[in-house]
Amino acid sequence: MSLVLTLVGLLLVTFVIGRVMPIDPVLKVVGERATQAQYDAAYQAMGLDKPLWQQFLRYMAEVLRGDFGRSISTGHPVAQDLKRAFPATLELAALGTLIGVCVGVPLGVIAAARRGGWVDQIARVVALVGYSMPIFWLGLMGLLLFYGILGWVGGPGRQGIIYDGMVPMVTGLVLVDSLIAGDWGAFRDAFSHIVLPASLLGYFSLAYISRMTRSFMLEQLSAEYIITARVKGLSERRVIWGHAFRNILVPLITVIALSFGSLLEGSVLTEIVFSWPGIGQYITKTLLAGDMNAVLGGTVVVGACFVALNIFSDILYRLLDPRAK
């Protein structure tokens, strides 16, 4: 129930913002040269002459049918655009989060265990740079070095030109689809294109994850049961990984889920630098064009993901937290 309310609330807020924004969506449809008559016709066709609440109810009914209307900046149904854009972002964010978790969690744990040691110092610098460096600049520098000079990775875009559109779409995730098709060349190509932007996002997410892991661990390590465990003569390794780490798993999952969610919506600049045809780029472009159907559709999808991630981490909580059993 609360889930439904959350989504309705999200729809309502984005809808209202969309309608009160000082941008005229009709102009995008009719263009600069249109006469008043053409303008009025488009205004009516878009249903903008109806009262706001009627527009909203109509919109709700359509969304329930999975119909987000037609985007005025692409000419396609929004649902169809999202079906293309969302997997691109999902793939990028998932790989980014994976990198963030695989590096960030161990880094945070070790930093806490050897507090003040050299690993801790490195982790601190890594996180600081991650927080403060503009992603736009870092992306361009990465492209220049690894693509332009060294030639280790693919350039901007999701796939090389030769492979573009060659692998049939099944899941929309190019890495997965190329494996399904058994096209090793296409997989390599897609991997070489995703590795740099995903590492970049992974870096930003690991900066966050490692800091949080470290502070969770420090809290645990100063708890009484750890002292007891040490007094009992358990090895340091068992104390850290067996006892303390197990206890931070639950809050850590929330951190990772949140980090994943923020990559889903926050990778806009990365997507622009790497010409990545994902949802961040889609929402930004359509927003600037005043294309409200597309913005609302994109926002709803990202919002629904956040809700889903929350539910998912709640379920994991139950499964992992012994007190909930």
Q: Which residues bind another protein (CB under 8 A)?
A: 22-24, 27-36, 38-39, 41, 71-76, 81, 84, 140, 143-144, 147-148, 151-157, 160-162, 164-165, 185, 188-189, 191-192, 195, 272-275, 277, 281-282, 285, 288-290
Q: Which is nearer to another protein, 138 or 244 (CB)?
A: 138
In the bound state with another protein, the residue whose beta carbon lies nearer, of 51 and 165, is: 165
Q: What is the closest distance, in whole angstroms, from the C-beta atom of residue 302 to another protein in the complex? A: 17
Q: How far apart are CA 124 and CA 144, in angstroms?
A: 26
Kindly tell me which of 265 and 291 has the beta carbon lying closer to another protein.
291
User: Which sign, positive or negative, has the C-alpha torsion 170, 173, 179, 185?
Assistant: positive
CA 256 to chain centre: 12
* In the complex, least distance from residue 190 CB atom to another protein, rounded to whole angstroms: 10
Compute and round to an integer the Cα radius of gyration of the chain.
24
Measured from the CB atom, is 29 or 126 closer to another protein?
29
Which of 262, 229, 261, 265 lies closest to 247 in space, CA to CA?
A: 229
As a whole number of angstroms, the distance between CA 142 and CA 153 comes to: 10
Question: Is 10 or 269 the residue whose CB approaches another protein more closely?
Answer: 269
In the complex, minimum distance from the CB of residue 310 to another protein, in angstroms, rounded to a whole number: 30
d(CA 258, CA 60): 27
**Full DSSP string of 112-151:** HHTTTSHHHHHHHHHHHHHHHS-HHHHHHHHIIIIIIIS-
Q: Closest distance between another protein and the C-beta of residue 159, in Å?
A: 10
Least Å distance, CB 60 to another protein, is 24
**Which residue reads 């779409």 in tokens?**
169
CA atoms of 245 and 217, how far apart (whole Å) = 7
Least Å distance, CB 112 to another protein, is: 24
